[in-house]
């Protein structure tokens, strides 16, 4: 997948890792670890010397504190919502000074805006050997349809075809690789989430999901609000729930909630070979 990875760039896949038991304690416990890029970063980059930060308004405008937290969202991101729906405590950034003591038993978020699938920016190791028993891996989304790409390449709102082709080639290979890993493990450890299809549902028919637009970002500037970063000086929509995209690259909290709904309960069209509810039910009986 190396050639495709170069085309896909930094916006790529992310992993949700579930450890269902800790050997260090007697009682059964669950821990949740997150790896990925800005789509799932919950504040790690606030501790790093980088320009890839979401630490100023209007980021976080719909977060419970109404303040920026380092999440590239108007509110909660996908790991936050998974934790909420599963009744778990939210994970902390791995760089947070609060990640100690009992907070370590909840898990941790290792995501960092700007990482990707290349060896020089991403992680490449066999997670199963490190203890996790369920690993949910998302495919890459429709990269050519984000407002940033529309602003640079689109005349009438059409998606950038080269990036769309790259995603269409990459995602099936990812599923094939995960299936091979499961065969080697002898069980369904790795679960593939088809976030490309989830996003395309919104993009193809946004009104069906209650969105006003899937092309224009809520926060930004230029064509489709797709140029530059979301800043206090950017155009800002009044109702974030009407938009698929919050800024030129990232979904709104409402779009994230619909994505999580499919991860939790979706058919094999969206989550293969089983959804997260089925995984948790199976593990509870083990």
Question: pLDDT (tens digit, 0 to 9) for every residue of the chain, 286 residues total?
Answer: 334 433 444 344 567 666 554 333 333 557 898 988 999 999 999 999 988 999 999 999 999 999 999 999 999 999 999 999 999 999 999 999 999 988 988 999 999 987 765 554 444 446 556 666 788 999 899 999 999 999 999 989 999 999 999 999 999 999 999 999 899 889 898 999 999 999 999 999 999 999 999 999 999 999 999 998 899 999 999 999 999 999 999 999 999 999 999 999 999 999 999 999 998 888 877 6
Q: Establish whether 250 is a catalytic residue.
A: yes
* Residue 247 bears catalytic tag: yes
Alpha carbons 14 and 137: distance in angstroms, whole number? 6
Catalytic residue among 96, 188, 201, 250: 250
Report the alpha-carbon distance of residue 264 to residue 63 in Å, rounded.
22
Which of 113, 162, 178, 138 is CA-nearest to residue 6? Answer: 162
**186/165 Cα distance (integer angstroms):** 32
At a CB cut-off of 8 Å and minimum separation 6, what does 172 contact?
A: none
Closest-CA residue to 272 (of 167, 198, 161): 198
Token reading at 271 = 């989550």
Show the domains of the chain with their CATH numbers.
Answer: 2-285 (3.40.50)
Active-site residue, 38 included: yes
Full-model pTM? 0.89
Q: How far apart are CA 254 and CA 240, in angstroms?
A: 8
> Active site residue: 38, 73, 83, 154, which one?
38
């Amino acid at each position: 997948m190396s050639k495709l990875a170069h085309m896909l760039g930094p916006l790529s896949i992310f992993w949700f890792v579930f450890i269902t038991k800790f050997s260090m304690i007697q009682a059964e416990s669950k821990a949740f670890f997150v790896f990925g890029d800005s789509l799932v970063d919950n504040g790690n980059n606030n501790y790093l010397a980088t320009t890839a930060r979401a630490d100023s308004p209007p980021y976080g405008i719909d977060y419970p504190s109404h303040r920026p937290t380092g999440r590239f969202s108007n509110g909660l991101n996908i790991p936050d919502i998974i934790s909420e729906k599963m009744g778990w405590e939210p994970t902390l950034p791995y760089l947070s000074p609060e990640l100690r003591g009992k907070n370590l038993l909840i898990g941790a978020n290792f995501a960092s805006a700007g990482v990707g699938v290349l060896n020089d920016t991403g992680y490449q190791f066999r997670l199963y050997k490190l203890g996790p028993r369920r690993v949910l891996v998302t495919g890459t989304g429709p990269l050519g349809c984000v407002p940033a790409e529309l602003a640079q390449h689109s005349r009438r709102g059409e998606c950038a075809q080269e990036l769309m082709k790259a995603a269409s080639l990459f995602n099936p290979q990812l599923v094939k690789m995960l299936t091979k890993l499961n065969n080697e493990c002898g069980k369904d450890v790795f679960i593939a989430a088809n976030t490309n299809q989830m996003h395309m549902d919104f993009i193809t028919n946004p009104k069906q999901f209650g969105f006003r637009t899937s092309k224009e970002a809520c926060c930004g500037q230029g064509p489709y609000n797709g140029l530059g970063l979301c800043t206090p000086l950017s155009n800002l929509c009044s109702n974030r729930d009407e938009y698929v995209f919050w800024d030129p690259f990232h979904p709104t909290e409402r779009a994230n909630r619909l994505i999580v709904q499919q991860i939790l309960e979706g058919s094999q069209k969206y989550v293969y070979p089983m959804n997260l509810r089925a995984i948790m039910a199976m593990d509870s009986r083990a």
